[in-house]
Structure 1
Amino acid sequence: MWHSGRMAESDRDRAVEGWIWNENVQPFLALLARYAGYDFDGSDWQAVELGLEATDDEHPDRWYSYPLVGSDHHFEVHLAQAVGGNEVSVRVAGTSNTELLLRADTLIAAFATRLVA
């Protein structure tokens, strides 16, 4: 499958969005947190894992949001599972830093790929 991320932009917010494989959510968030200067740990993962359970990417009101507030930057990550699939839709917002948005978009593209060992 090919990732077709896109940049969304409004007056108040700039964001990148796409999808990643379910098994890649934890490493995706851990790396994104590093860009913010935030230490994403086991308790963070437990919160996200529980929050994702009731999500549905086809219903905007059923997405889960998790802030990554670090010493350097702030991201607001929105996640929702594809019902019946193994994908998780992702939207990363909260920063107007173009370089960080590009890094987030690159992570989304990378984690939409299944690596073969």
Structure 2
Amino acid sequence: MSKQIAGWIMDRNLRSFLELLSRYIDYAFDDTDWDTIEGGVRDTDDEKPDGWYSYPLAGTSATLEVSFARSVGSEVMSVSVTGIETPELHLRTDTLLSAFASI
């Protein structure tokens, strides 16, 4: 059963969040991914339904859809991850969100 986890992180932590999440699903996150995401999130707004940017992470152990949007006027990035199918990946994703919200 696929689950979704949503939360927020400090926007400066977005790349680190994605790199670690990618490791958990055996996806080789690289500079091309980052360049695409960095451009995609530039004009996002978490208060607008169409203001989010989504990016797939297709690893060998799972495929996740990660959506992002800036909280305009702050250093916060709202994040939603769908496609989580195991309890272990659910826990790891939730832990990453918590960790990167506080540092």
TM-score strictly above 0.5: yes
Q: Which amino acid aligns with 1:113?
A: S
RMSD: 1.2
Name the structure 1 match of 2:53.
Answer: 64
Give the deviation of 1:13 after TM superposition: 4.8
Could you tell me the percent identity over the aligned residues? 48
- TM-score between the two structures when normalised by the length of structure 2: 0.95
Name the structure 2 match of 1:75.
Answer: 64
Aligned to 1:61, what secondary structure does the other structure show? coil
Equivalenced residue count is: 103
Name the structure 2 match of 1:110.
Answer: 99
Name the structure 2 match of 1:7.
Answer: none
Name the structure 2 match of 1:3.
Answer: none
Match of 1:42 among 12, 26, 31: 31
Give the deviation of 1:98 after TM superposition: 2.0
Name the structure 2 match of 1:23.
Answer: 12
Q: Which amino acid aligns with 1:97?
A: T
For residues 105 and 29 of structure 1, what CA distance do their matches in structure 2 show?
13
For residues 16 and 97 of structure 1, what CA distance do their matches in structure 2 show?
12
For residues 92 and 80 of structure 1, what CA distance do their matches in structure 2 show?
12
- Does residue 88 of the first structure (1) align with residue 72 of the second (2)? no
For residues 15 and 74 of structure 2, what CA distance do their matches in structure 1 show?
17
Name the structure 2 match of 1:53.
Answer: 42
Aligned to 1:19, what secondary structure does the other structure show? strand
Runs (5+) with no aligned partner, structure 1: 1-11
Aligned to 1:84, what secondary structure does the other structure show? coil
